[in-house]
Every structure is written in C-alpha cells, then in structure tokens.
Amino acid sequence: RPPRLQPATYASGAEPDSERAAPAQDGERCQPCAGRRGGAAMAAPAALLQRSVVSPAGRHRASVILLHGSGDTGPGVRAWIKQVLNQDLVFQHIKVIYPTAPARPYTPMRGALSTVWFDRWKISNECPEHIETIDSMCQVLTNVIDDEVKNGISKNRIILGGFSMGGGMAMHLAYRYHQDVAGVFALSSFLNKTSAVYQALQKNESVLPELFQCHGTADELVLPSWGEETNKMLKSLGVATSFHSFPNLNHELHKTELEKLSSWIVKKLPVETAMSNE
C-alpha cells in the first residue's frame, strides 16, 4: 500500500519499531521503570481532548468515537483511513469523532513523550496493566461521550472503537464504564491476560455491547493470538463477539476490513431506529 501520511519513526501508523516485543519468556518480567509510574499517571490532563470530526451527510442521529494507535493522532488515523478507502469514513446519519491522546511519558520508548492513551511496561499480553493511566484516560474520554449525550445522542446510539492501543482503550472504556453503548470494535488490538476488563465482567449480569474484532495474521507487533485470546475470553464472559482474520495483513488497516467495519456500524446504528424514536 502507499506510505502512511505519518512520521517515518512509526511503523504502520501505530507503535514505534523500537516497541516490538515477543511474548515474555520464562524468567522475563514486565517491570516499571523506576520512578516513572507516578509521573506517567499524572500526565493525563483533565482538559478536553482535541478532536477531528467527520460530520454526517444528513441529520446527526448517532456517533462513533474512533481512537488511534500509540504515537498517532486523531487527524493521523483519519487521514490513514481516507487513504485506504479513498474517502473519509462517512455516513448519512452518524458522526465520526477522532480524539487525539495527550502526550505522556511512554515506558516502551524509555520515557519519551508520545501521544498514547495509557502507559505500559512493554507490548506484551503477559504484563500487568498500567491501571492508573488507563483509568485516568477513561475519565477524560467520558467527556467525549458526555458531549454527544448533551447533543441529544443517547448512549445506545454511540459506538466506541479503535486501532491497536485505541482498541484496547475502547474495550476498557466500554466494558468497565459504559456498558450501555451500542457496540465496540477493536482493530489489531488486545487485552492483557489479567486485564481489569475481565475482572469487571466476572461480576457483570447485564447485557453487554457487542464486540467487532479484526486482526491480520501477519501482525508481528500485536500477535494475532493475543487478539484471538482476547476475543475468546470476552465471549466466555458474556460478550457477543465476532472475529475477522485477514491473511498476510501486518499491523495496519485494510480496505476490506474497513468496509466490513462500516457495514457493522450501520447495522448497530441503523437510521430507521433513530427515526422511529422521534
């Protein structure tokens, strides 16, 4: 595919090459860098996030909040999608919102600032989660959801999702804090084996938002087995899930993948339902 419209320091518009990591080997532990845990947790601002917005072609009746991968931006992932599809991800009645994560110290980059939704010790599903930064960002992203509600869009007319780290963030946001949204999608994403999402859902008895998941079989950064394990675990905890594998696809977006996602979004947020509620 054509090169990304993104800085050359990032591979496939998401994680830096220096972050590449195989699953933790025996005796290898995921440890925080000394003194960085508190500083990274404090980096999340309470201010509203910058957002790139694709307005619906017609009347606004539903919303999608799409979160970028680490090191990217809202305008960056929007441009990437536009490049792959040869047009914006645009709908007749659905607004698409691309927030940008604030820059924070990022441990896999030796503490350098990066636009990431949360910190983590390394890219591995064996690590404990950096729950302080995840929770603080869930609070910040709740502001984006609340703004849509203030604009007259009910929670069951909102879908949360993202690419890579953005998909992981969306799963935390939906399954731990906003279980009444219409759906969740995760592209080339995963949850850690001991994720707080799994812990929260073990106590859950309500109907959960459906998960739409995609993963390339040639992904060397976020291994496809991590995505598959995430899907199976969430399914075992009561989430209705679908998992779509894309042969020979690395850690990137694909036209067929985005077309499937677009169809799923319209199925979950049909314009007819919105009109019948008026």
* Cα distance between residue 18 and residue 96, in whole Å: 31
Residue 164 catalytic?
yes
Helices 255-268/74-85 angle, 10° precision: 110
Structure tokens at 73: 């931006």
Q: Which of 68, 172, 215, 251 is catalytic?
A: 251
Residue 219 catalytic?
yes
Closest CA to 171 of 157, 156, 154, 188: 188
Q: Which of 164, 188, 189, 195 is catalytic?
A: 164
Residue 70 catalytic?
no
- E-strand ranges in the chain read 51-54, 62-67, 94-99, 103-106, 112-115, 158-163, 183-187, 210-216, 241-246
* H or E element, residue 149: helix 131-150
Residue 215: strand, helix, or coil: strand
Longest CA pairwise span in the chain (Å): 59
Q: Which of 130, 136, 195, 219 is catalytic?
A: 219
- What residues have CB less than 8 Å from 64, skipping those under 6 apart? 89, 94, 95, 96, 97, 158, 159, 160, 161, 265, 269
- Report which residue type is found at 68: H
Residues annotated as part of the active site:
164, 219, 251
